[in-house]
Amino acid sequence: MSDFTKRKSKEEVISSLKGIALEMHNKMERGTPPTMTLPVRSKTNIAFDQKLEVYKYGKKKTIRDATSLGSARQLLRSLYVTEFIEQMIEAGKSSTLREMYYISESWGHGKFGTQNDSNNLAEDLEIVTKCLREDFKLRPEEDGARIIGDVTFEEKNRKGDWMRINCRDDVGDSGYGVPYNVESEKLKLITEDVDFIMAIETGGMFDRLVENGFDEDARCALIHLKGQPARSTRRIMRRMSDEWKKPIIVFSDCDPWSFRIFASIAYGAIKTAHISEYLATKGAHYLGITADDILAYDLPSDDLTKQDLNALDAELTDPRFNSGYWKEQINLMKELGKKAEQQSLAKYGLDFVTDTYLPEKLSAIGLDY
Amino acid sequence: MVDAREITSKQKQIAVSEFFEKNKHFLGFDSLQRSLITAVKESVDNSLDACEEARILPNISVQIDRLKGDEIRLVTQDNGPGIPRDAVEHVFGKFLLGSRFHAIRQTRGQQGIGITGVVMYSQLTTGVKTKVTSKIASDSSAVFVDIGLDTRKNRAIKSREKRDVWFDDITGEVVEHGLRIEARMKGKYQRGKQSVFQYLRMTSIVNPHATISLVVRDRDGEVYEQGSWKRTTDKLPRVVEEIKPHPHGIQLGTLQRMLRESEERKMTSFLRHNFSGVSMRAAKEILSLAEINENRSPKRISTNDANGMLNGFQNVKLLPPPTDCLSPIDDLLIKKGLSKAIDSRFAATVTRNPTVSQGNPFQIEVGLVFGGDLTADGPIEVLRFANRVPLMYQQGGCALTKAIESIDWKRYGLDHPGGKGLPKGAAAVLIHLASTNVQFTSEAKEAVADNDEVFEEIRRALLEVGRGLKNHLKKKSQRKKAKEKFELINVILPEISKKSSKLLGKPEPNLSPVITQIMNAVFCEETLGWNSEQKLATCIIEVYNYTARARAYTILVKWPESDTVKIAVNPLGGRKEAKGIWAWRIETLDPGCSTTINIGISGLTKGDWVDTDIFFRGNGDIIGATKIDETLLEEIRKMEALSAAQNEINEQYSETEVNHLIQRAETAAKSELEKEIIETPTPESNSSSIQNGSPTLFDDYNTEELE
């Protein structure tokens, strides 16, 4: 197990955070500007980790030093955040990232400019200290996924009692809402009676599959990703894959952004590459819609925009897409100059997706039903 | 049988009203909107000219009221000298067509057909006579009279004439002298770029000595638009001298007419007395080239001989025409005028020396304002003027606009997509062409015709203000950077130190070596201000040394030195380096230390001195100051010596010939000098600061972008 998956004690968290202050203080004592050392967080610094089988940050480091006003402010903010987290740990409280953003109003020159600043800094601190933001008592506000299917969890409710929930029988049409914390102290995976787990990009398609009873017909659990999946969504998929040994199938639109969603699920996201082994599910499978589906099923499509083309070109130099399959898909999409939505399948009727498209695609990878 | 005289007279009668009808568009009376602007223009131009001649500071008010239908009432009033009773019908009732070719000087009234056009237009569109009230200082009462036009006889018809005391409509006081014109005409008031408001706003910029006001009222008496532009100077424009034409600008027809009307008996005296720039020697050379006997009578010169003379004009060395016939606005006054009309952060103005094109003296003035209220999206605002008259139409076809478009504005910090058309950004550019003979593209007199010399002069002036803008923008970004650094070391760093020490329970480290490492530079910051108690323009220069070793510098500041502008407060002493350049020596500036220089300047008014350049001499850069270019400084001293010598000669001899000779010598010396500077490569030591486009020191030297 890596540094990340091993949960840290309060004392360990505080002492790692103080390491940041120590780096700054030591530099100043030596008469040089204070610094904070971070790995470079871009596609140029992610590499496949043979042992973990996911993409992780490489060796490139960036040094944030107090020679410009912006960086100096970031350093000061880190110190304020350290102090704030220490206080929360002592008091046994937690706060959302957004709450921290508002609390920073009283931090004078350490105040955040935007919510994005505070989110990024929380991630910086995770990376530098090798702690999780859950250790920092910081919660995201991101919307967790919804699940429908014959799988059963136990979730600890606010009263501290374990509550058993079957995601087919105990939920309404909107499914089971995945909480932000899906670690074992909060959520247990109990039983399942499915053959695979299908992650769906758009709400419209998720609802279509639910209405058509696809989860029961195909013996699967459906997860609505809600666009770029939140950390907890990726984490619960990883746990279901690890603990239940079920394949994860991704069904998304056919555009450059959907490819990135898949990459963050299967290989690890660039922003969270420090915890890829904890969030990414190796072996997740991209079912569709593929670029060749646009041709094979003669789907209604839109022209690629300039931004789409730029995104595709960027993917061609992204190490995560450096495989024969992805190069072919990306180049084919560029050649067609087209993209298509999941819901374009409705061209052939509302049941086409469940009666024809998915069975054909699944059977091609040996998941007949 | 009809008398022959009657026939010619009749033809003439028809011609006058027909002429107006046919040429309405040339005369500026085409659309309802434009007719109103033209009417205002004719009367305001007249007022300004009259006040200038009578040496009165003009107060001009314009009032426009909408009446029924398309009709409007236009009332203009000035505090000028007024018109004597006998002259009223002459001024308001005659078309003065054709130009007075013997008298050449710069006047506003080169456009249109004057106030008679207003009377004519009013009569044609509404049938209502124009009410004129005139009071001259020497009369005890004012003349009140209605003026109409007898188009058959081409003269004014006066009616309801009376004499009375004239009380001002608004103040109710007795008017000492002035003129009031009330006309009723068809017209339309429209707001925008081509409006009476814009015309008056532009007029006020180039006539900073005038106070102008405008009120436009709707039919119900509600104020629709109003403007008020107060004078920013009590200095009237200089009286312009009339000059004789210069041979280089003469065409055959004109020459023949001059020969015919000449009263001289000999050709030599004809040439010397009727032209400027022709000496006895030159006259003889021209005549010998044209193979004309010096003693021949001018009246008897044939077309062929006249052609020979024209040829001689081009091939004989002539003195340039005198340029005191021009009335530039003066760069400081343009700056005031611009800042009165436009709220901006930066203003640069340049008045070029007068020069000559085809025998016509002309002078270019340019102003550029940036920032403030100006909007950043869309092309810059162009303010064009010819002889202090705003040009409001045909902007695209005008040589003044083309000159702006020919500059690579990107180099000077403005957005210039594709390097074509007008640049974009929060800027306005003013161009004033003063000339005894402004060449327009058409009779409408709204666009200046292409002329290489004029074009080149405008370009040089624009490059100068452009450099000023670039310098301003560079300084702005430097200042921002410096401010950030100061915040970093004075605020953020101490807090990082405090906070980290507290978290770790350790003592706070000594920050001074850290600060030196972060800054590692010498900073200079100047603040210009105004001391209202002592009436002094102040400049405070602070120099901070944030490097690890002691420094020594000479700090130089550019200030607007003149006969009336002096340094009144200067505790540190220092010395004069050249005209407008003062220098102080800072012997030692230890690491982490700062020093302050402050001066107070008398003879300026608030807002005159808002931007300056700081230079330094010494090793290592100073952020916020420019390394001084010693070669340029040397040239300035030379020029100073030259002009001092010239003043001495001027005092000894006052003969015009001598002046001309000096002028020529000066022009020659200056152009030599310009050439030399362009050709001399910049010395190594200065190359870094000069080549990346930092400001050159002095206005008349162009070290960049000269083809």
Q: For residue A133, what is the domain's CATH number?
A: 1.10.10.10
Name the pLDDT band for B671 (thresholds 50, 70, 90). low
The per-residue pLDDT for B337 is: 77
Q: DSSP character for B295?
A: T
Classified as helix, coil or strand, A126 is: helix
Mean pLDDT on A237-241: 94
Name the pLDDT band for A281 (thresholds 50, 70, 90). very high
Q: CA-CA distance, B177 to B86, in Å (whole number)?
A: 16
Name the pLDDT band for B688 (thresholds 50, 70, 90). very low
pLDDT digit string, tens, across residues B292-311: 888 888 888 888 888 888 88
Q: For residue A179, what is the domain's CATH number?
A: 3.40.1360.10
- Inter-chain touch B500–A79, beta carbons under 8 Å: yes
Helix (H) or strand (E) run with residue B537 in it: strand B536-545
Residues 49-78 of A with CB under 8 A from B: 66-69, 72-73, 75-76
The per-residue pLDDT for B293 is: 87
Name the pLDDT band for A155 (thresholds 50, 70, 90). very high
- Inter-chain touch B514–A32, beta carbons under 8 Å: yes
pLDDT digit string, tens, across residues A28-75: 999 999 999 988 888 888 888 888 888 888 888 888 888 889 899 999
Chain B residue whose CA is closest to A17? B503
Name the pLDDT band for B670 (thresholds 50, 70, 90). low
Report residue A290 as tokens.
């593929």
Whether A297 and A313 map to the same domain: the answer is: yes
Whether A130 and A167 map to the same domain: the answer is: no
pLDDT at B652 over 70: no
Query: Could you list the active site residues of A?
Result: 102
Chain B residue whose CA is closest to A111? B492
Chain A residue whose CA is closest to B496? A76
Query: CA–CA distance from A243 to each of A49, A190, A192, A238, B703 (Å)?
Result: 22, 10, 11, 8, 77
Name the pLDDT band for B102 (thresholds 50, 70, 90). very low
Classified as helix, coil or strand, B298 is: helix
pLDDT digit string, tens, across residues B376-397: 888 999 999 998 889 988 899 9
Name the pLDDT band for A249 (thresholds 50, 70, 90). very high
pLDDT digit string, tens, across residues B560-576: 888 889 999 999 989 99
The per-residue pLDDT for B105 is: 54
Are β-strands A196-200 and A248-251 bridged in parallel, bridged antiparallel, or unpaired?
Answer: parallel
pLDDT digit string, tens, across residues B474-512: 888 888 888 888 889 889 999 999 999 999 999 999 998
The per-residue pLDDT for B16 is: 60
Q: Which residues pair with B390 in a beta bridge?
A: B385
Q: Which residues pair with B576 in a beta bridge?
A: B582
Whether A303 and A325 map to the same domain: the answer is: yes
pLDDT at B520 over 60: yes
- Tell me the residue type at B418: G
The per-residue pLDDT for B668 is: 55
The per-residue pLDDT for A142 is: 66
Whether A233 and A343 map to the same domain: the answer is: yes
Burial grade of B662 (CB within 10 A; 0-12, 13-18, 19 or more): middle
The per-residue pLDDT for B279 is: 87
* Domain range for A280: 146-364
Chain B residue whose CA is closest to A26? B509
Whether A192 and A114 map to the same domain: the answer is: no
The per-residue pLDDT for B97 is: 43
Report residue A254 as tokens.
């056919």
B492 to chain A, any CB pair closer than 8 A? The answer is yes
Classified as helix, coil or strand, A365 is: coil
The per-residue pLDDT for B556 is: 94
Q: CA-CA distance, B271 to B255, in Å (whole number)?
A: 11
Helix (H) or strand (E) run with residue A123 in it: helix A115-129
In a domain, A36, yes or no: yes
Mean pLDDT on A132-145: 79
CATH-assigned architecture of domain B247-315? Orthogonal Bundle (1.10)
Name the pLDDT band for B700 (thresholds 50, 70, 90). very low
Sign for the CA dihedral angle at A97, A102, A103, A104 comes to: positive
Percent of chain B at pLDDT > 90 equals: 32
Whether A70 and A189 map to the same domain: the answer is: no
Q: Which residues pair with A176 in a beta bridge?
A: A147
pLDDT at B252 over 90: no
pLDDT digit string, tens, across residues B104-121: 555 565 444 678 888 889
Q: CA-CA distance, B464 to A159, in Å (whole number)?
A: 77
Whether A153 and A256 map to the same domain: the answer is: yes
Mean pLDDT on A246-271: 93
pLDDT digit string, tens, across residues B407-456: 999 999 899 988 888 999 889 999 999 988 888 887 778 899 999 999 99
What's the angle, vertex CA B482, arms to CA B478 and CA B484, rounded to 5?
A: 120
Name the pLDDT band for B659 (thresholds 50, 70, 90). low
Classified as helix, coil or strand, B472 is: helix
In a domain, A369, yes or no: no
pLDDT at B11 over 50: no
Whether A150 and A101 map to the same domain: the answer is: no
The per-residue pLDDT for B103 is: 42
Whether A186 and A67 map to the same domain: the answer is: no
The per-residue pLDDT for B389 is: 87
- Inter-chain touch B514–A79, beta carbons under 8 Å: no
Outline where B26-181 has alpha helix (H).
32-54, 85-93, 115-126
pLDDT at B660 over 80: no
Q: CA-CA distance, B377 to B426, in Å (whole number)?
A: 7
pLDDT at B615 over 80: yes
Whether A285 and A183 map to the same domain: the answer is: yes
Looking at the complex, report in whole angstroms how far the Cα of residue B484 sits from the nearest Cα belonging to chain A.
Answer: 6
- Inter-chain touch B499–A76, beta carbons under 8 Å: yes
pLDDT at B691 over 50: no
The per-residue pLDDT for B657 is: 54
The per-residue pLDDT for B64 is: 96
pLDDT at B143 over 50: yes
The per-residue pLDDT for B567 is: 92
The per-residue pLDDT for B680 is: 39
pLDDT digit string, tens, across residues B268-301: 889 988 888 888 888 998 988 888 888 888 888 8
pLDDT digit string, tens, across residues A344-369: 999 999 999 999 999 999 998 888 76
The per-residue pLDDT for B694 is: 33
Q: CA-CA distance, B344 to B220, in Å (whole number)?
A: 36
A5 to chain B, any CB pair closer than 8 A? The answer is no
pLDDT at B656 over 60: no
CATH-assigned architecture of domain B14-229? 2-Layer Sandwich (3.30)
User: How many helices and strands, by DSSP H and E, does chain B display?
Assistant: 17, 24
Name the pLDDT band for A4 (thresholds 50, 70, 90). very low
Annotated domain spans of chain B: 14-229, 247-315, 331-471, 510-624, 648-691
Q: What's the structural domain count of chain A?
A: 2
Whether A171 and A257 map to the same domain: the answer is: yes
The per-residue pLDDT for A338 is: 93
Q: CA-CA distance, B207 to A79, in Å (whole number)?
A: 61
Find chain A residues with C-beta within 8 A of B507's C-beta. Answer: none
pLDDT at B202 over 50: yes
CATH-assigned architecture of domain B331-471? 2-Layer Sandwich (3.30)
Looking at the complex, report in whole angstroms how far the Cα of residue A114 sits from the nearest Cα belonging to chain B.
Answer: 18
Q: CA-CA distance, B314 to B150, in Å (whole number)?
A: 47
Whether A274 and A294 map to the same domain: the answer is: yes
| Half-sphere exposure for B435 (CA within 13 Å, toward CB) | 25
Percent of chain B at pLDDT > 70 equals: 85
Query: Dihedral through CA A174, CA A176, CA A181, CA A186, nearest 10?
Result: 160
**Burial B677-695, CB ≥16 within 10 A → b, else e:** beeeebeeebeebbeebbb
The per-residue pLDDT for A10 is: 83
pLDDT at B400 over 50: yes
| Nearest CB partner across the interface for A69, out of B484, B495, B504 | B484
- Which CATH superfamily is B510-624 part of? Mu homology domain, subdomain B (2.60.40.1170)
Q: For chain A, how are helix, strand and coil distributed in percent, rounded to 5?
A: 45, 20, 35
Looking at the complex, report in whole angstroms how far the Cα of residue A307 sits from the nearest Cα belonging to chain B.
Answer: 23
pLDDT at A254 over 80: yes
